[in-house]
Amino acid sequence: MAIEVRIPTILRTYTGGEKAVTADGGNLAELIDDLEANHPGIGERLLDGGDLRRFVNVYVNDEDVRFIGGLQAELSDGDQVVVLPAVAGG
Amino acid sequence: MLTISREIHDAIVAHARRDHPDEACGIVAGPEGSDTPTRLVEMVNAASSPTFYEFDSTELLALYKEMWARDEEPVVIYHSHTATEAYPSRTDIGLASEPGAHYVLVSTRDSFDEAGGNNDGPVEFRSYRIVDGEVTEEEVTVVDSPGTAPAPTTRSTD
């Protein structure tokens, strides 16, 4: 199983500068575990207390995962995952 | 230093005035690696708030996909402050996540009277780098038209 994950500029320090990496997982939580195993430190930038960080957006095939089950969002071979930090402030 | 065309500079100021008292936000994309802001994209402030801004998550993805397809990157990320100076707030600093971008802050606090009427007062326009929580203000050079000598300003007042 191979899922392409697009990595935003600010997290490319964890992927050796790569814009996209492949990872495995039956759902988003498993995918993040796999990312963390191969790119230590990246998990903490995505998760906060076992939940997706408020200002990190993750999309599966263009759908914001918050609308399709969050960390339980199901993944299949060939899915495209995009990680984008929110553009926000005060 | 941020070098920006008069046309885009004025459009950002106009956007901030139009959305006052809510914060206005958007980006100016440019060719990857060029450091030249060429394509203004006004975004909806999904928070519709005078004290907070956030791009809608679906529109954010569409925006980035469009930039990737055009080999662009966000050269400028801008938003307005409507009651305070054009300086990054603690929240702005904490959430800044494009270390290569120029963060432009505009303030409309002096361009509206207390009743919310536009008094044609100045709109502050300033630019910063925000990297690892560290803010560095930079000079803004507004270029009137291609080929003419730029007139440097650090805090334009139009």
- Specify whether the CB–CB gap between A85 and A9 falls below 8 A: no
Question: How confident is the model over B3-36, as pLDDT tens digits?
Answer: 999 999 999 999 999 999 999 999 999 999 999 9
Domain total for chain A?
1
Q: What is the CATH number of domain B2-153?
A: 3.40.140.10
Predicted ipTM? 0.93
The CATH number of the domain holding residue A57 is 3.10.20.30
Range of the domain at A42: 3-85
Q: What is the mean pLDDT of residues B55-79?
A: 97
Q: Which residues of A touch B (CB under 8 A)?
A: 8-10, 55, 57, 59, 62, 64, 66, 82, 84-90
Residue A72 lies in a domain: yes
Q: What is the mean pLDDT of residues A44-64?
A: 96
The structural domains of chain B, with segments of one domain joined by +, span: 2-153
- Largest Cα separation within chain A, whole Å, is 41
pLDDT score, position B118: 75
Residue A90 lies in a domain: no
Residue A61 lies in a domain: yes
Give DSSP secondary structure letters for B68-133: HHTTEEEEEEEEEESSS-SS--HHHHHH---TTSEEEEEE-TTSB-TTS-B-----EEEEEEEETT
Residue A14 lies in a domain: yes
Residue A59 lies in a domain: yes
- Specify whether the CB–CB gap between B86 and B125 falls below 8 A: yes
- Specify whether the CB–CB gap between B17 and B111 falls below 8 A: yes
The CA–CA distances, whole Å, from B82 to A3, A62, A64, A87 equal: 43, 33, 30, 18
Query: What tokens does A42 get?
Result: 């990246």
Question: How confident is the model over B27-60, as pLDDT tens digits?
Answer: 999 999 999 999 999 999 999 999 999 999 999 9
| A87 min Cα distance to partner chain B (Å) | 6
